[in-house]
Amino acid sequence: MERVFSVWERENSNSTVKCGNRLIVEERLKKYLKAYTFLVPISLLLIALDQLTKNLVRENLALNEYWMPVEWLEPYLRVVNWHNTGAAFGIFQGMNSIFMVLAFVIIGLILVYFPMIPTEDKFFRLALSLQLAGAAGNLIDRLYRGYVTDFISVGRFPVFNVADSCITMGVVVLLIGMWIEERRTQHEPRTDHYIEPL
């Protein structure tokens, strides 16, 4: 009888562990799906905008050709078809393969880390959504074309694109969020109490 009870107890314990593990996995999946419902739509929308604008430029302008219908704006703002094999804003030319690997790493880290960010931390979530869109938008170009299409030319500033803008805006949003959080922390009342020594 004791042996039968021992077997039953062991089987019951195993089923309890399996049930617990299944619940943990389900909760984790729900957490990931909830996080990605914020991340994915924003990133996909910006990636689509990035690819659409690049395709329009490639279809309508020859390499190094520029366009600006308003003549007096031409020295300050124009659209140009430019091939970039380096990083954002044309730096580190000829390092396309390195930036491809770097983009894969960044995208992977964002996808893994994003569900761990508290839902109330909206600035950080938005910043990473922008960073993901920027990294993925330029990665698509590097994979299929071997270069990134840049087309926004402002004055003497290096030519850039929508993906580059997403990366930059992601950094700006992150810094704003950190600044707001710092100010909020400074204005919170102190909860620690001073105890006089005996």
pLDDT tens profile 42-94: 999 999 999 999 999 999 999 999 898 888 888 899 999 999 887 766 666 77
pLDDT band, very low/low/confident/very high, at 133 (cuts 50, 70, 90): very high
| From 50, 121, 164, 192, the catalytic residue | 164
- pLDDT tens, position by position, 180-196: 888 888 766 655 544 44
* Residue 150 clears pLDDT 90, i.e. is over it: yes
Confirm whether 50 is a catalytic residue.
Answer: no
15: in domain: no
- Domain count of the fold of the chain: 1
Find all residues with CB under 8 Å of 168, minimum gap 6, and list them.
88, 134
Confirm whether 141 is a catalytic residue.
Answer: no
- Residue 85 structural domain: 39-187
Say what the pTM is.
0.77
13: in domain: no
**Which amino acid would we find at residue 85?**
T
| From 50, 121, 150, 192, the catalytic residue | 150
Which H helix or E strand runs over 158? none
Residue tagged 């309890």 (tokens): 16
* Residue 133 to residues 8, 19, 90, 104, 161, Cα–Cα distance (Å): 53, 38, 18, 12, 12
For the chain, give the longest Cα–Cα distance. Answer: 97
21: in domain: no
